[in-house]
Structures are given as structure tokens and as C-alpha cells.
Structure 1
């Protein structure tokens, strides 16, 4: 089988809650997502998606995805999409860095591999663990009372994991953490996610002030070194996210005992191939994981579900269902939340069929 062409679509994904807010006053109201189809000489088409969380979260932005695909796509024509390790080496040789650009192509090729094998992607990624898996809900940054009310509402929908967006004024963040913890029950998990928003001294203040609260602390500061300093003065379980962008950081973090949990974002690693490699290393090292991506719609959610459902249950800290946050569906067959839980499709490949009427006209093809 050979790649005969790539087609790129752009689609807007408005948020159900109107806006998503996190540290530093950053917010997004509509996500700019890129969908990629990979066509083959066998008549099969694979589908992928990548959606950065705006231009100010990670070194990735929506227009950059599409610009990178213009560089990358033509040189992939003629390659075998089923030889995923080889294809990833080829993409890295064509375009240095920019892993998020390559993510949708890699996901589309996993979709093709599943179609050819007649198996769901999660079976190819290692096998399905259990009937489903638990999700977290990200809680947009608001005043403490509003965030507590939001958490209570989502708890009633079946969620038991909550990622609280903090990283603002430390005094207000302390109130946010305490207000939300007060509405939770035993067994619920609360993650205070600063998204790099605190300075080191601010982070130290917060973790000391909530020492008696059952809460995970996630990515308090911008750099690994600052996070490690906070970790070494913190009684809480610790999560790293933004600084985890490759295998080297996982090995370093384990050696330094820098974290208990890491967030594996598919597009930050460059697709399912490398995210799986990171996932499997974490299992070997005994590190818990949140399996997710930066953002996305139905196709990203399907890819997340397959990677999460094939992760050993003991190491899957939580995952997410981004398609429930947005108002626009872009594919049929995507997994849908049930009582705060999600399951990967049992159909071959990703198990999705894109809604071409929603995707509209391609913005580029080769």
C-alpha cells in the first residue's frame, strides 16, 4: 500500500460553555482544528485531527499545522502508511521538530492500519483493558464559588476527576482549591492545574496553604527546574504536563523523582506512534498517566480513547472526552461519554466516519 495524496480541512469548534480560561488570563472561545485525510492506492482513506489550544499554550498554533503540512505532505506521497516507525522517521527527516504538525498524519495512518487489519486501533496499541475508563473534567478558571458550582454540576453527571484551572492570584487559587474540595466526596480526585502560571515562590505559598487538602498539584511553574524545587517542598502528589515533551524528559523526571503522574498529549509527541512509546515507558517505570491531547473534536477524542483504553488500568490516572466540550460534531462513530466514562470503538481503525458536509471544502491537498 502507498500514499497517493493528503487532503487538509479546517473546522471551527465552538465551546459549549462559551469560553475556556486558564492561567495568565488566556482564553479560547472557538477552537481552530485541522483534519487530515490520507488517501492510498488501495482505495482506503485514513483520518486524523490536530487542534492546538490556541497559540499561547504550547509552541504550536493552528495555522502552523496547515503550513507544516504543505511542507510535509508532498514528500510523503509514495510512502507505505502501514510502516509507522519508518514513516515517522521519514517525517522527522523532512521536517525537523514541529511534532504537532505530524500528529494528524500519524493518527490517520493508524486508522488505515486498523482498517487493513480489521481491528480497532486500541487492539493494535496493546489490547483493551476493561469495558471503559474514567474521565476528568477541566474546570475553566472563574471565581471560587463559580468553580465549585461547576464541579458539583459535573459530578452529578458522573465525573469523579476534576482538573481545576488555577495559576492566577495565589490567594484566590487557595480559595478555589478549598471551595472545590469542599463539594467533593471520598474517592473523587482533585487536580490543581496551574498550567505554568505561578512563579516558584507563589507555588510554594499555595502548596503550604493547602497542605491539609487532598489535591494533586499539576505543573505549577514554567520550567522543569522550578517545578522540581516545588515538588521537593510539597506533600502532595505531583503531576507534570507542559515540560513533558519527549522520552528524555520522562527518563529525567523519573531519575529525579520529579512527579507521580505525567500528562501524555498525543500531538505534543507527534502522534500515536510516539505517544504509545512514551506510554509504554511510563508503564515500565511505574508512572501514572493522563492520556489526552491539547484539544480537538471527534477524531482526536477517538484517538485518545484508543490510547487510553489500551493503557493498563493501574497506570491510567485519567483521560478526557474533548468532543463533549464543543458544539460541533465532525465525525460519526466517535466515542461518547456515559456517566463520566468513555470506551474506544470496537470497529476497525479509529471507528469514525467524518461528516464531510461539516468539514466543507478542503483548504489544501496534494
Structure 2
């Protein structure tokens, strides 16, 4: 089996409501879709959502990287050779993990279809039967966040990720308002997205959070300040998760060596796709660090890829892949698998996603073909 053609689509995915985090507001999500076709006519779908704040990639730079560098380099290659595909991409360009993730995901999808098995069977088989679905609360006034949380509890949700990172005092009010509204039985995770900047600000916040039953505090400081994470972890009774600070195996080695986090948030866009994500999960498992698979708010394609990783590994204890329920239009049908409060994957080959090419055409801003 050889790769014959790669089509690249720049897509704007429409959100039901703007997605607001500490460093940006997203009225829609800019995604790059890859359609990989083999000589035998099989099609694999891939996706990436680049983020210049985390990986240094923009949608425009990622599109160009795929069109002019990465896609041409793998035409004629066997998509089953995951290690070799990544080696070839790494030799062509340093880093650029989101761009590489789009290729990686498409390869896994087409290989699963060729062999007639779900992607998780290519990763060691299915371990988890289902995962709780977490609703993400964008930054807003405390009462509005509490109102939304109450509404979602009534819909069946049992866990929330709260986006904060505006200012310590205001964020503490937001967290307390949600906790008071939903009660003690509902899980709350707090994601600062680097917004508290340093350990001093974070430890000030932690003093107010330690009695609120928070599941974990995620990436409170700047992504490259691993030493600040070490200090916070040593002084906090709230479990600490690292997100933006873990991108690749080099970061993972430092985090393990310094014992810088209680939990790791693996995202395929940060590490380069399914194959590198499995390497990070294995490293974390050896160190006894629990993992989560998170997202950059991808469509059904990218979200399904993350789920296949999560469902295959015992060390992955939670997922936060909410794109398909946040879009007013999606490219695939993964939303059917969200049976609140759980997500349960189907057993179709590859990613198990049926892509609606009419919607893809409708949402595409521009596209190109590489290969025959």
C-alpha cells in the first residue's frame, strides 16, 4: 500500500458560542484537514488545529508546511510504516507537531481501514469501555459560569473543566461560584492556561482552592517554567497537571526527572499525532504519572484520533475532547458517540468517523492537492 495523493483543506469550524480562555477568544476554530488516498483507493482522514501560543504554528504556516514540505515528502510511502513516516517528516522540518499530526492521523485511519480494525486495535487493543464526558466552561462572570454549570448538570454532566486565568481574585470567585452552585459531588478541574504566570500568584490562589475539592489545577504558570511547576507541586495539596509545558519526549524527560507534575495532559497537536502520543503515555506510565488526552477543539476527525489513544491505555484516566459537541456544524458524526455523561467509541475500521464531504466543501476556505 502506497500513498498516492494528499488533499489539504483550510476549514473554519463554526462554534455554537465563542470559546474563551486566558490568552485568546475564538469565534470559530481554524482547522486543517488532510485527505490521504492510497494507490488501492482507500482514503484516510487527518486533522490539525495549530496554536501559535503553544506550538508556534499558525493556520497559514501549517497549511504551507503541509503543502510544500510534509505532504510531498511522503508521497509513494507506505502509510503502515509509522516510525519511518515520522522520521522522514522530522528530517524535513524541526518541530511543527500539529502539521505532522494531520499526516499521522490520516495514516492511522487508512491503515485501520485497510486491516478492517479500529485504530485502537493498532495501539494494543481497547482497554477502556467508556469515559466520562467533561463540559468545558469558558471564562465569564462568576454567576454566568455557575448558571451554565447548573444547566449542564441538569443535562447529565458530572464533571467540568473551568477555564480561568484572568486574575487570581476574580478566578477564585469564579471557581467558588461554580462549586457552590453544583455541589460537592460534581467534579471540577481548573485550567489556568498559563494565566497566573508564576508560582507566587499560583500559590496565592491555591490557598483559596485547597478546601474546594478540586480534581486538579492545570498549567497555572508559563509553559516553559518547569521549575515553577516543581515549586507549586511541592507546596500544594491540589494535584497539579501540566499541559502547555509538555510537548515532546524532551519535555517529558525533564518533567519526570524533576517530578514537576502529578498528571500529564497529552494532546496530539502538541506532540505530532497518535504515534508520538503513545510514546509519551508509555514514558508517563513508567514514571507512574497519570495521563489525560486533551484537545485543541478539533472536529470529529481529530477528536476521534485522541479518543483512540485514550481508550487503548490504562494510564490514561480522563479525556477532554469536546469539539464535536461545541460546533454548530461538524465534519463527521462522532457526536453520536457522546451519550451524556459518557462517550463510547464505535467499532468501525480506522477512526470510525463518517466524513461529510458536502459540509467539508461548505466550510473550506481554500484547498490544494499534492501527488497524482
**Would you say 1:351 and 2:355 are equivalent positions?**
no
Aligned-pair Cα RMSD in Å: 1.7
How far, CA to CA, are the matches of 1:137 and 1:359 in structure 2? 26
1:291 corresponding residue in structure 2: 293
1:240 counterpart residue number: 242
Question: Which residue of the other structure, out of 62, 66, 69, is the alignment partner of 2:63?
Answer: 66
Gaps of 5+ in 2: none
Partners of 1:169 and 1:41 lie apart in 2 by 54
Any residues of structure 2 matched to 1:47-62 within 5 Å, and which?
Answer: 47-53=45-51, 55-62=52-59
Separation in 1, partners of 2:325, 2:343: 11
Deviations 1:176-203 (A, max 9, x none): 1111122334443211111001132221
Partner SS for 2:16: coil
1:208 aligned partner: 207
| Distance (whole Å) between structure 2 residues aligned to residue 34 and residue 191 of structure 1 | 29
Superposed displacement of residue 317, structure 1: 2.8
1:6 aligns with 2:20: no
- Give the C-alpha shift of residue 248 in structure 1: 2.5
Q: Could you tell me how far apart the structure 2 residues matched to 1:237 and 1:332 are?
A: 35
Question: In 2, Cα distance between the equivalents of 1:333 and 1:171?
Answer: 38
Per the alignment, residue 316 of structure 1 pairs with 317
Shift of 1:63: 1.4
Q: Is contact 1:10–1:359 with CA below 8 Å preserved after alignment?
A: no
Q: For the Cα contact (< 8 Å) 2:128–2:312, is it kept in 1?
A: no
Query: Corresponding residue for 2:342?
Result: 341
- Once the two structures are TM-superposed, the CA of residue 209 in structure 1 deviates from its matched residue by 2.2
Distance 1:260 1:321, change over 3 A: same
Contact 2:295-2:320 within 8 A present in 1 as well: no
Query: 1:16 is matched with which residue?
Result: 16
Change (3 A) 1:317 1:247: same
2-11 vs 227-236, which deviates more? 227-236
Aligned to 1:31: 29
- Give the total of aligned pairs: 362
Taking structure 2 as the reference length, the TM-score comes to: 0.92
Structure 2 CA distance for aligned equivalents of residues 156 and 34 of structure 1: 35
For residues 334 and 97 of structure 2, the distance between their equivalents in structure 1, rounded to whole angstroms, comes to: 27
Deviation digits for residues 1-53 of structure 1, max 9, x if unmatched?
11111101122111112x111114x2001111111011111111111111235
What SS does the aligned partner of 1:363 have?
strand
Structure 2 contact 34–47 (Cα < 8 Å) conserved: yes
Q: CA deviation at 1:354?
A: 1.7
CA contact (8 A) 1:103 1:267 kept: yes
Note the 1:146-225 alignment, pairs <5 A: 146-200=144-198, 201-215=200-214, 216-222=216-222, 223-225=225-227
- Relative distance call for 1:149 and 1:133 in structure 2 (3 A) is same
Structure 1 equivalent of residue 330 of structure 2? 329
Seen in structure 2, the aligned counterparts of structure 1 residues 195 and 338 have a Cα distance that, compared at 3 Å, is same
Range that drifts further, 254-263 or 107-116: 254-263
SS in 2 for 1:86: helix
Q: Which residue of 2 aligns with 1:253?
A: 255
Q: Is the 8 A contact 2:49 2:296 kept in 1?
A: yes
Query: Which of 93, 96, 103 matches 1:95?
Result: 93
1:353 aligns to what SS in structure 2? coil
Cα distance in 2 for residues equivalent to 1:292 and 1:273: 15
Task: Output the CA distance in 2 between the equivalents of 1:214 and 1:137.
Answer: 17
1-side partners of 2:244 and 2:53: how far apart?
A: 12
Whole-angstrom CA distance in 1 between matches of 2:336 and 2:49: 18
- What is the rounded CA distance, in whole Å, between the counterparts of 1:62 and 1:178 in structure 2? 36
Report SS of the residue matched to 1:39.
strand
Match in the other structure for 2:368:
364
Q: Following the alignment from structure 1 to structure 2, what is the Cα–Cα distance between the partners of residues 248 and 56?
A: 19
